[in-house]
């Protein structure tokens, strides 16, 4: 083979003056391919050592800038990537920290709001439960209103349930006129009682002491065993409310009302001085509603009444004093104050059922003309709002209800 006339220096000069070649392949792939090719041709490398050397130099010259650029590019890329990552991560971390702080603050605020709402809800529930625990009306419940008590028959007509309403006073309107107006708004069936009002009669007061009752000829108070006794009870209670001394009965302006089995009555006897005991009554159609109802039987003294209140009555009236409450001593401090002493073994707790028992005792005392009651019991300071060992005012009226327009 003819030896090349080019020296190594000439070849290098020639190669350095050749146009720049751009190779877009990955330098690592090129290097690997060259290595494989060189290994395959290793046995012939002695034939043209100068040419091989020149080729290697040529390739190095060609690839060196690319390798350097690639390394720089890779390094810069990694550095930029790292910087970009750090730059992106920094606000993100700040945002996460800020969000975390906001979240923590938000959760703290939410927890605070939740606690406040929960406390407020508990207070409201406590207030509602406390208010609903009392069935009767007391002096503090009335404010500037008028109290009207209506006698309403129960669902079976066996008992007369007194229901009391507080209504705002109306200037220029007589009390009796307001009483008759409210009569048309009663919701007896909604309350679990018999529909009875308004009365099928004209009511008026003459001489400030006589209640006149005028019914039509087709009135229903003569029919059945419910209507006549209920009407009499209603009229007696109405008379008592307004301080009436006499009740006159008319049918189409003629004296007398036919009351069926009770006969025809022209006047009602208001001299009844009966003393009654109060029992628990739960309507069948509204068993969650408790009424305190006076039984029609009259008792000689209040001790007898309290003993009777420990027993159920077949007419749907339940005992209002538990068997395990023992009234050890009953006496009158004076004409208006009743003094009771509960035996220390009596099982009493500060809960609604015992509040209702206290109310039944107070209403019974009121029926016996007492104005205050002192209950001696050393194991509890209070039962509901009633202070033990102190004077307790009797209720103004039983079974408070509301009429919502």
Contact 270, 236 (CB under 8 A): yes
Domain contains 232: no
- Residue 62: the pLDDT is 54
Q: Could you tell me if residue 134 is inside a domain?
A: no
Residue 68 lies in a domain: yes
**Residue 126 pLDDT:** 38
- Cα-trace Rg, the chain: 51
How far apart are the C-alpha atoms of 229 and 245, rounded to whole Å?
A: 19
What is the spatial distance between Cα 84 and Cα 127, in angstroms, rounded to a whole number?
62
For residues 258 and 275, is the Cβ–Cβ distance under 8 A?
no
Domain assignment of residue 32, yes or no: yes
- In a domain? residue 152: no
Per-residue pLDDT of the chain (405 residues; tens, 9 = 90+): 445 566 777 777 776 776 665 555 555 555 555 555 554 444 443 434 444 555 554 555 455 555 455 444 444 444 444 444 444 445 455 555 455 455 545 555 555 554 455 444 444 433 334 545 899 999 999 988 999 999 999 998 889 999 999 999 888 889 999 999 999 999 999 999 999 999 999 999 998 889 999 999 999 998 877 788 889 988 988 888 888 989 999 999 999 999 998 899 999 988 767 899 999 999 999 999 999 999 989 999 999 999 999 999 988 999 999 998 999 888 876 789 999 999 988 889 899 999 999 999 999 999 999 999 999 999 999 999 999 999 999 999 999 999 865
Range of the domain at 83: 8-102
57 in a structural domain: yes
Give the number of domains in the chain.
1
Asked if the structure places residue 259 within a domain, the reply is no
CB of 242 within 8 A of CB of 175? yes
Beta bridge partners of 254: 251
| Domain contains 74 | yes
Q: What is the pLDDT of residue 44?
A: 42
| H/E run at residue 159 | none
């Amino acid at each position: 083979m003819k030896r090349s006339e080019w020296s190594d220096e000439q070849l290098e000069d020639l190669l350095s003056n050749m146009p720049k070649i751009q190779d877009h392949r990955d330098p690592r792939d090129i290097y690997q391919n060259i290595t494989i090719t060189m290994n395959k041709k290793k046995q012939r490398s002695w034939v043209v050592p100068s040419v091989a050397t020149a080729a290697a130099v040529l390739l190095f010259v060609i690839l060196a800038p690319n390798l350097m650029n690639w390394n720089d590019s890779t390094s810069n890329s990694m550095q930029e990537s790292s910087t970009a990552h750090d730059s992106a991560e920094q606000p993100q971390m700040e945002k996460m920290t800020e969000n975390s702080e906001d979240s923590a603050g938000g959760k703290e605020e939410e927890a605070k709001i939740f606690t406040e709402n929960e406390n407020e809800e508990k207070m409201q529930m406590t207030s509602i439960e406390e208010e609903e625990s009392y069935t009767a009306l007391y002096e503090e419940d009335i404010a500037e209103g008028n109290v009207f008590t209506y006698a309403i028959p129960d669902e079976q007509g066996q008992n007369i349930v007194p229901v009391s309403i507080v209504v705002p006073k109306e200037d220029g309107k007589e009390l009796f006129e307001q009483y008759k107006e409210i009569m048309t708004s009663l919701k007896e069936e909604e309350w679990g009682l018999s529909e009875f009002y308004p009365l099928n009669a004209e009511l008026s007061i003459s001489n400030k002491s006589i209640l006149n009752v005028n019914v039509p000829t087709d009135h229903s108070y003569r029919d059945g065993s419910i209507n006549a006794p209920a009407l009499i009870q209603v009229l007696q209670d109405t008379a008592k409310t307004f301080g009436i001394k006499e009740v006159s009965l008319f049918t189409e302006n003629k004296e007398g009302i036919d009351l069926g089995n009770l006969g025809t009555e022209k006047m009602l006897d208001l001299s009844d001085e009966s003393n009654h005991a109060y029992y628990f009554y739960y309507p069948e159609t509204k068993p969650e509603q408790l009424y305190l109802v006076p039984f029609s039987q009259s008792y000689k003294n209040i001790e007898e009444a309290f003993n009777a209140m420990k027993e159920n009555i077949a007419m749907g009236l339940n005992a209002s004093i538990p068997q395990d409450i023992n009234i050890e001593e009953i006496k009158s401090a004076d004409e208006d104050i009743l003094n009771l002493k509960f035996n220390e073994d009596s099982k009493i707790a500060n809960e609604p059922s015992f509040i209702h028992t206290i109310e039944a005792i107070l209403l019974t005392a009121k029926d016996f003309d007492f104005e205050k009651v002192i209950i001696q019991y050393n194991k509890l300071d209070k039962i509901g709002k009633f202070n033990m060992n102190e004077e307790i005012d009797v209720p103004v009226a039983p079974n408070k209800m509301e009429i919502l327009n």
